[in-house]
Amino acid sequence: MRPAIPVLIVVGILLGPVYYAYCLLFSGNVVQTISMTERASRWVTDDGSILRFPNGLAYKPVPVTLRPDMNRVSLRLNFTFAEGNNARTPVELRFQATLMQLDHTVLERPMLLRVTRAGTQTMDVGPLEIPYPALYLFLLEEVGTSNLVSAVSLEVIEKIETPVRPIVWGGLAMLFVAAMIAIRDAVHTVRSGRPG
């Protein structure tokens, strides 16, 4: 193997997948953590609006103040599954996360959790850009009902870094070049090893 191949692979992984994952999953600061406990099929918001959830139960809507100086923002949900709810085959739980500003839906995301054992699963809603400061309403609806989720917490994360696309593409290009060199060398080795 040529010495350049391991170097290209390591640098390509760092600049491509690792850098991209760092920006989306590990950058930013948690500025607020909110426990979500109460569930119902109907909620009345502070402005008197009635929200109905005919397909299941929804957690109590959470008001969140978001501002442009927090960009980019992500909303991270931590689902905790209680002891004693272990399953031999995965149980699928479906949720719908919605972020609203007044009666306008800013972001909507369906989520699927596969639960096999007690513990915690994390799902991110976002990242998103906040155009102006306002009070937003975060809704989390469980499609159907289950007793597997023992607790849910919402983390508001600010200043999520935006991956620089040329860096990510450069890393992926290095991985591609390393793969092409390795394939070419392997083909050359096989051909040169054949009896004449």
- The model carries a pTM of 0.70
Q: What is the pLDDT of residues 25-83, one digit of tens each?
A: 777 788 999 999 888 888 887 777 788 887 778 889 999 999 999 988 989 999 988 76
| Residues 154-177, mean pLDDT to the nearest whole number | 82
User: For residues 7 and 1, what is the distance between their CA atoms, to the nearest angstrom?
Assistant: 11
pLDDT category at 196 given cuts 50, 70, 90 is very low
| Residues 139-158, mean pLDDT to the nearest whole number | 85
User: For residues 127 and 77, what is the distance between their CA atoms, to the nearest angstrom?
Assistant: 13
Token reading at 167? 């860096």
User: ∠ at Cα 109 (44, 151), nearest 5°?
Assistant: 65
Q: Which of 189, 196, 171, 99 is closest to 139 using CA atoms?
A: 99
What's the gap between Cα 45 and its chain centre?
A: 27
Q: What is the DSSP letter of 70?
A: G
Q: Which residue reads 């799902």 in tokens?
A: 123
Domain boundaries, the chain: 28-160
Token reading at 26? 């590990």
Q: What is the CATH number of domain 28-160?
A: 2.60.120
